Amino acid sequence: MLILKGYYFKGILLFLFFTCNYLHGQIVAVTDSLKEALLVANNDSMRITLFLELASQYQDSDSLLTIQYSAKARALALALNDPESSVKSLLPIANMQRNLGNYDEAKKIAQQIILDSEEIGFSHGKGYGYKILSNVARLQGAIEDAIFYGNKSLSEFELSEDQFSIASMLNNLGLIHGHLGKYTKALELYFQSLKIFEEFSNRQYVGKVLNSIGMVYKKQGDYDNALTYYNKALTIQSGLNNLNSVGNALKNIGDVYLSLHEYEKSIEYYDKAAGIFEELGIKKNIGNAHLNRGQALTGLNKNLQAISEYELALSFYSEIGDEEGKSYAFLDKGLSYSTLGDLTKAKFNLERAVRISEKIKFPTTLTRALGVLADVENKLGNSSRAYQLFVRQKTLSDSLTNENSLRKIAQLEAQHEYAKREQQLVAEKKESEFKFQQTIAAEKSFQTMLLLIVSFTLVLSFVIVFAYFAIKGKKCKLESVNEELNSRNIEIELKSNKLKTALQEKEVLVSEIHHRTKNNFLLVQSLLGTEHDETDNKQVKSVLRSVNARLESIRLTYEILDQDNKYDVASLNEYIEKLSKRIYAGFTSSSAVELTLDLEDTPVDKKVIITIGLIINEVLTNSFKHAFGEVGKGKVVVRTFKSGQNLNIDIHDNGKGILLTEAIYGSRGITLIAGLVRQMDGEYEITNDNGTYFHMQIPLATLRNGITADKDYLVNQRDTSDSKEIA
């Protein structure tokens, strides 16, 4: 039996309050609206909700007000014996501590949230506790912990069926995969999150996800898309007056201009972002601002000023334990020292960057640091060490497949082999001289023997020189072959990348088409709903509700196809379950009618699943509206199963039963059902058996192959002669 969650009631009240303000044209800040709502709130439950919302609004900007409103919510929740609200009152404080860089304190509060939620069986609270632990782990560079806690958080939110929280956690997991360089997976998670937030019309979180998508495009070098998404995010966050998010958007736009070598323009954006972060007192973001300014100054060849900015950034990162930030700062500081020619200090800072990147398993800075450190070692004359570093870098990043990097590796390899061969020659020469001296000492009286030994030494030297040049010639040929192979590998990888990009663009385009199709259905449904609300004609209202329900069954098909990324077939059991529950929710309450689903999974063609949905919509709507009369209590069972070459669908209610004259001769709904069943080459019957019993058989071949175009006309026919008469 479905259970309608009671705790959504508070959220609905808040939604109605802010919606009314908007419709009356009141342009008021969110916090002011919440405070006004407190003045008119007439029950303690509503006051708790408003206190929690105020605490959340201030968690990014005012720690004192965050603590004050959280404490008020917690005190009132304890007085009302409301343990769930008591747990929720800890969330804004934990988020505030995380934003301020107080990671240990944030983790303690998150663990308390999890323990309290476990005690009362509150999955939603546990989800938020694990989400905070995942965020802190990511910020501290513990990526494995971040993924572990992120997946636990997502599982808890799915148990609580909280779509908003699921979307938020998908966004966080996207950040983690982007951190690991898994950009395709990150974009997939971000677009799933964006879709849910857009359905909620939550501009604040839409802005955050747009910002994250821009970050992925920036890392991929797609700067046009990056600027597009960053500017969209900035527009939304500026309208919401969310200072922290505005600062992040400005900083990210500066990053793009930095990558485009427009350094003066990037500094302009960094300065704006730094002013906001210093006002809010967010240490990590202040450190980021100094790091970014240093990078821009490096681009302007102002390396001494850049080093000062990197040292300031390191002081903030060290204070809050941000290992990822430290790895960036040491890397950029090493680059500046290398440019200034101070190779010793450059090597020291780059080695620190390598160690930290290895510790936190951060491939982005590790790959760059290895490459720069190899250059420094080569300049210091350590060719063997440089070669080892470049080879290691090649195993970490495909970026080394470009021609310049391959040439550098080949040169270092040649130097390395030459040095080894030179050492071997020296060793052989020393050995020859040692033997020569022994021979002289033993055969001083024999001048002829001395001449033979000298001759032997000359011949041996000639052989060695000849062998050396022969080996060197083979080495050159080998290098030529390697260069040709590497060139072919580069060509293959470029073609592969183009194919991957084209596939990704196709997937995004198809997803966008289905998303727009669903939005168009929603628009039509909204217009029908408006007409329904405005008319007083009961018959018109009934017709509009029926049409709206049929549109919903079609729209749901596109929703399922879009979620699964399958655009030809869909899962019938998932579709029937979602459609039945939505129809159920629209006509009944959980205490009145019990809905039981017994479904066998079957893949179905897209056009067929829409047809089946329209039939089920008609039958269930009839049951919920007419089967139980004024009593309003009963049971409805929906069952699917295969027999032979057919799929069977049974819908049975224990209500007062259908008029047999209507079942035989057909109302408008029965006429529609008859036409739709015939369209699928199926059969159906309607009987009274302790209520209304509907049975339908559809050939499995129709489910697999779809409906042919020449049968579409059957939907409009009113002949119901194929239905079986029931005496």
pLDDT over 80 at 220, yes or no: yes
Interval 128-147 mean pLDDT: 88
| pLDDT > 90: percent of the chain | 26
For the chain, percent of residues with pLDDT exceeding 70: 80
CB count in 10 Å sphere of residue 705? 11
Q: Please give the angle made by the CA atoms of 376, 378 and 384, to the nearest 5 degrees.
A: 125
The pTM of the full predicted model, rounded to 2 decimals, is: 0.40
| Contact indicator for 35, 54 with CB cutoff of 8 Å | yes
Sign of CA dihedral 79, 85, 87, 90: negative
Give bridge partners of residue 694 from the DSSP assignment: 651, 686
Q: Say if CB 154 and CB 170 are below 8 A apart.
A: yes
Task: Convert 593-628 to b/e letters by CB count within 10 Å (16 or more is b).
Answer: bbbebebeebebbbbbbbbbbbbbbbbbbbbbeebb
Q: How far is it, in rounded angstroms, from Cα 693 to Cα 671? A: 17
pLDDT above 50 (res 720)? no
Mean of pLDDT over the chain: 80
C-alpha span between 656 and 690 (Å, rounded): 8
Rg of the chain over Cα atoms, rounded to whole angstroms, equals: 36
Rounded Cα distance, 154 and 167, in Å: 9
Cα(282)–Cα(302) distance, rounded to whole angstroms? 27
For 222, the token pair is 């797609």
Smallest Cα–Cα separation from 345: which of 361, 356, 334?
Answer: 334
Q: Contact 303/339 with Cβ under 8 angstroms?
A: yes
What was the pLDDT predicted at 1? 30
Give the pLDDT band of residue 3 (cuts 50, 70, 90). Answer: very low
* pLDDT tens by residue, 253-265: 999 998 999 999 9
Strand partners, 634: 593
Where does residue 425 rank: exposed (0-12), middle (13-18), buried (19+ CB within 10 A)? middle
Given pLDDT bands bounded at 50, 70 and 90, which one contains residue 495?
Answer: confident
Token pair, residue 657, equals 């039963």
Give the model's pLDDT for residue 602. Answer: 87
Q: Worst-scoring range by mean pLDDT, 193-202, 209-218, 526-535, 635-644?
A: 526-535
4-37 burial, b at 16+ Cβ within 10 Å, e below that, comes to eeeeeebeebbeebeeebeeeeeeeebbebbeeb
Comparing C-alpha atoms, which of 460, 456, 425, 464 is closest to residue 439?
A: 456
pLDDT, average across residues 41-70: 82
pLDDT tens figures, 412-454? 444 445 455 556 656 665 676 676 677 666 666 666 766 777 7
Helix %, strand %, coil % for the chain, to 5?
Answer: 75, 5, 15
The confidence score (pLDDT) of residue 491 equals 76
**Interaxial angle between packed helices 363-379 and 383-396, expressed in degrees from 0 to 180 and rounded to the nearest 10:** 160
Residue 305 has pLDDT above 70, yes or no: yes
> Could you tell me if 699 and 643 are in contact, meaning their C-beta atoms sit under 8 angstroms apart?
no
Whether the pLDDT of residue 404 is over 50: the answer is: no
648: which strand partners?
Answer: 641, 697
Give the single-character DSSP code of 82.
-
**Quick one: average pLDDT of 395-421?**
50
320-360 pLDDT, tens digit each: 888 989 999 999 999 999 999 999 999 999 999 999 988 88
Alpha helices in 80-142 (DSSP H): 83-88, 91-99, 103-120, 123-139
Are 236 and 262 in contact by the 8 Å Cβ rule? The answer is no
Greater pLDDT, 713 or 398: 398
